[in-house]
Amino acid sequence: PAPRRRDAARRRELLIRAAMELFAERGFDRTTIREIGERAGVDPALIARYFGGKTQLYLATVREEQGTATPAELLEEERLRTLVERLSRRGPGPSFQAAVMPGD
């Protein structure tokens, strides 16, 4: 039999699209890696292989949604104040966790 053709870029894109949908529907905390893999139609273990984990996949979806838009200047005083206030109200979200715990 002919070897299966693997298309990593396509599977990666399927995972990003599935994650975007599920994060929008359920939020980050209530979305599981297994659900993302099922929706994408691929092995959920590929999330770790392609992205490193669920948080990094989340960040990839943010970058995808952002496209070519320039992100807000994080060191701008008002933006920084808003981020710190949000952190104190809601706790660390996935983006914050990825920034301070890159090896996790």
Same domain, 38 and 67: yes
Same domain, 80 and 55: no
Assigned token pair, 48: 């770790």
Cα distance between residue 82 and residue 70, in whole Å: 18
Confidence of residue 88 (pLDDT cuts 50, 70, 90): confident
State which residues form the domain around 77: 72-104
Cα distance between residue 101 and residue 104, in whole Å: 5
Same domain, 13 and 40: yes
- Entry pTM: 0.63
Same domain, 51 and 21: yes
Same domain, 79 and 32: no
Q: Looking at residues 7-36, what average pLDDT do you find?
A: 93
Same domain, 60 and 79: no
Same domain, 53 and 76: no
Considering its fold, how many domains does the chain have in total? 2
Find how far residue 23's CA is from the centre of its chain: 9
